[in-house]
């Protein structure tokens, strides 16, 4: 078992109180698995991604454990985490531009980065990796501003996986890219897993269709909790949680026409997490909800590998 | 066609001067022609840098045209109060359209002060409530709130309600759903679909092909500032003729089908040269700019 997260709780400190962005999330990611993490804005998917590598100043580890390859990650301890970052857990951020130093050529920046971590640059390995994502070695002599968005994203992917980390977190890495670039980047990412450069991956995106293409397993979150986790195919073909079903129904496919089938959105909005209501958090927007939903639904395994948190399944 | 053209672009070109002292010229939009009829949604599809937003900005009079002409209901674009009474734009980021210090419904107040100063207060309040209901929002839930208390979808719909308070004929919707969640995105799209049945012409600018096809009667595909293919949406996406359109379609992730490999296109002019040849009518209303259309059709089944 590569990654095991147990009852993870992370909250944000605000002036008005504690916002419980992650409220008891448990899941596992196996070796060689790509876990797609999907959900609406504010569901806690980015918080979860950050929790696995670096809690920012406002975030507090309120409980639960994260175990990677049998060792517990000290996620609440910023310094102790340094030993794991880049070597064991690595990140590809949403805006690759902000991950690259604009005043350095790419090659020099990578060399400096590795030196600061006490590693030496294996230039041949770096060039091979660049080749695998379809970049010429010349990019090492360029400045970040000379590269397109998709190229920068791929450079960052190569750099963050250079030490062959066990877990890679990719947070919305394709949302600023065009469809054709998006496809290239997503495929390169899956290729890294296939080549064994990273053992497992958490792929965070709001785009369910994209997740379905590259992830092995999809986990849908709602208001800081797990709603449903299932193999990718099951998730898009036979979702069980009412929220996932509505989410899948809200997606237009290429070629779908308004005149043919009118898609429906989900009325209402997720509850505020400052003082979340007890029970099922989707209750207010759920067409199936009744009094029984006032109690928090447990996560149950309805089929092998298919977990749902709903009283109505 | 019975309905007249609401928006007509004729050979529109936009050149930007760049570099020190404006010594270099970059052509962002190159001889683009298409039209949008009343009661019709036309989607303008292209990747970053294809010139789609520039076209939207030119239609809104935010940037001048270098050559060619844009007419709205037969009259040239003339930015000013009279023009914006019938032509409005809604943009990608709803949060940046509101001043966070003021309540969100201030946008309606500004409309009244500029365009309807003579309308009595109570009648105006009723009109605002009606417009808010028209965009499927509950006036009691959204009026009197600050922007941060509303969701992106609500803010975006309020901006459309704001446009409806004018005598709106043409709406330029530039990536209006790309910042919204899947659950609220559809509500905004359905709203646009309802508005078009009331005779509104919508120019829907997007890079998302699925959203573009959902709404639009006709589609214009842009590549590096030129139109490579345009026509009825069913034909452009059902039987794409230009290799670029095919590539775009192949790259879209689909929920239920694996990624297709981009069709291999042999010696297509769009690979190596900037030009694509003129637009030729392949089937009635379906135009393609491909110098080797007949070869290509043979190449890719």
DSSP string, B53-103: HHHHHHHTTSS--SEEEEEETTEE---SHHHHHHEEEE-S-GGGGS-TTS-
B138-161 confidence digits (pLDDT tens): 888 889 989 988 888 888 889 999
CA distance A69 to chain B (A): 32
Size of interface A-B (CB pairs under 8 A): 114
Domain ranges for chain A, please list them.
Answer: 3-88+166-308, 97-164
Q: In chain A, what residues touch B213 (CB-CB under 8 Å)? A: 252, 254-257
pLDDT of residue B275: 45
Smallest CA–CA distance from B255 into chain A, residue:
A209
- Say yes or no for a CB contact (<8 Å) between B213 and A208: no
CA distance B8 to chain A (A): 24
**CA distance readout (Å), A9 to A66, A301, B105:** 11, 21, 37
pLDDT of residue B267: 42
The three-class DSSP label of residue A83 is coil
Q: In chain B, what residues touch A182 (CB-CB under 8 Å)? A: 251, 253
Token readout for A197 is: 């450069």
CA A73 to chain centre: 18
B103-136 confidence digits (pLDDT tens): 998 999 999 999 999 999 999 999 999 999 888 8
- The pTM of the full predicted model, rounded to 2 decimals, is 0.85
Q: In chain A, what residues touch B215 (CB-CB under 8 Å)? A: 258
B193 Cβ under 8 Å from any chain A Cβ: yes
Q: Find, among A160, A51, A155, the residue nearest to A105 by Cα.
A: A155
A245 Cβ under 8 Å from any chain B Cβ: no
A251 Cβ under 8 Å from any chain B Cβ: yes
**CA distance readout (Å), A22 to A48, A64, A281, B168:** 7, 10, 13, 44
CA distance A90 to chain B (A): 26
Measured torsion, CA atoms of residues A196, A198, A204, A208, in degrees rounded to the nearest 10: 0
pLDDT of residue B296: 56
A3-88+166-308 CATH pick, 1.10.10.10, 3.40.50.720, 3.40.50.300, 3.30.70.20? 3.40.50.300
Across chain A, mean pLDDT equals 91
User: What structural domains does chain B harbor?
Assistant: 5-299 (3.40.50.300)
A57-69 confidence digits (pLDDT tens): 889 999 999 999 9
Percent of all residues in chain A with a pLDDT value above 70, rounded to a whole number: 98
Percent of all residues in chain B with a pLDDT value above 90, rounded to a whole number: 44
Across chain B, mean pLDDT equals 85
Compare CB distances from A251 to B48, B184, B255 and report the shortest one's residue.
B255
Chain A, window 256-275: residues with a beta carbon less than 8 angstroms from a chain B beta carbon: 256-258, 262-266, 269
pLDDT of residue B264: 53
CA distance A143 to chain B (A): 19
């Amino acid at each position: 078992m590569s990654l095991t997260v147990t009852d993870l709780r992370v909250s944000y400190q605000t002036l008005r109180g504690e916002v419980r962005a992650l409220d008891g999330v448990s899941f596992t990611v196996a070796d060689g698995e790509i876990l797609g993490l999907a959900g609406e804005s504010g569901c806690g998917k980015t918080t979860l991604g950050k929790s696995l590598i670096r809690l920012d100043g406002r975030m507090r580890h309120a409980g639960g454990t994260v175990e990677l390859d049998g060792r517990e990650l000290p996620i609440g301890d910023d310094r102790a985490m340094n030993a794991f970052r880049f070597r064991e857990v690595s990140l590809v951020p949403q805006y690759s531009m902000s991950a690259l130093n604009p005043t350095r050529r790419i090659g020099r920046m990578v060399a400096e980065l590795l030196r600061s971590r006490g590693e030496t640059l294996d230039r041949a390995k770096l060039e091979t990796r660049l080749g695998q994502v379809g970049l010429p070695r010349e990019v090492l002599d360029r400045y970040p501003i000379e590269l397109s968005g998709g190229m920068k994203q791929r450079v960052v992917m190569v750099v963050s996986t250079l030490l062959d980390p066990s877990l890679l977190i990719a947070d919305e890495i394709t949302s600023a890219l065009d469809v054709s670039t998006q496809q290239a980047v997503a495929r390169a990412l899956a290729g890294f897993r296939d080549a064994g450069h990273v053992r497992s991956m958490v792929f965070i995106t709001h785009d369910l269709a994209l997740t379905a293409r590259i992830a092995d397993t999809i986990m849908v979150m709602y208001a800081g909790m797990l709603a449903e986790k299932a193999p990718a195919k099951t998730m898009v073909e036979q979702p069980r949680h009412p929220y996932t079903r509505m989410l899948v129904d809200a997606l237009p496919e290429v070629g779908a026409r308004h005149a043919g089938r009118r898609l429906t959105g989900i009325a209402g909005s997720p509850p505020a997490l400052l003082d979340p209501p007890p029970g099922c958090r989707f209750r207010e927007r759920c067409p199936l909800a009744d009094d029984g939903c006032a109690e928090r639904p447990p996560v149950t395994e309805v089929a092998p590998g298919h977990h749902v948190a709903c009283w109505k399944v | 066609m019975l309905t007249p053209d609401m928006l007509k672009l004729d050979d529109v070109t936009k050149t930007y001067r760049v570099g020190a002292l404006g010594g270099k010229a970059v052509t962002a939009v190159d001889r683009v022609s298409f039209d949008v009829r009343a009661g019709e949604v036309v989607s303008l599809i292209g990747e970053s840098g294809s010139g789609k937003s520039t076209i939207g900005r030119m239609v809104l009079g935010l940037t001048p045209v270098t050559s060619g002409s844009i007419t709205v209901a037969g009259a040239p674009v003339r930015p000013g109060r009279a023009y914006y009474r019938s032509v409005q734009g809604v943009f990608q980021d709803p949060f940046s359209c509101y001043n966070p210090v003021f309540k969100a419904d201030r946008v309606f107040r500004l409309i009244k002060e500029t365009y309807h100063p003579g309308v009595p207060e109570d009648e105006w309040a009723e009109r605002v409530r009606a417009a808010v209901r028209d965009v499927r929002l509950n006036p009691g839930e959204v009026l009197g709130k600050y922007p941060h208390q509303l969701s992106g979808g609500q803010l975006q719909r309020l901006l459309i309600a704001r446009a409806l308070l004018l005598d709106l004929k043409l709406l330029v919707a530039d990536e209006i759903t790309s910042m919204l969640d899947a659950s609220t995105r559809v509500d905004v799209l359905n709203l646009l679909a309802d508005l078009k049945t009331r005779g509104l012409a919508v120019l829907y600018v997007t890079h998302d092909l699925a959203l573009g096809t959902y709404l639009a009667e006709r589609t214009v595909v842009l590549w590096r500032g030129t139109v490579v293919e345009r026509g009825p949406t069913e034909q452009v996406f059902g039987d794409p003729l230009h290799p670029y359109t095919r590539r775009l379609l192949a790259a879209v992730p689909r929920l239920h089908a694996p990624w297709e490999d981009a069709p291999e296109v042999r010696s297509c002019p769009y690979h190596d040269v900037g030009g694509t040849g003129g637009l030729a009518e392949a089937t009635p209303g379906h135009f393609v700019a491909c110098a080797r259309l007949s070869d290509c059709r043979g190449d890719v089944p």
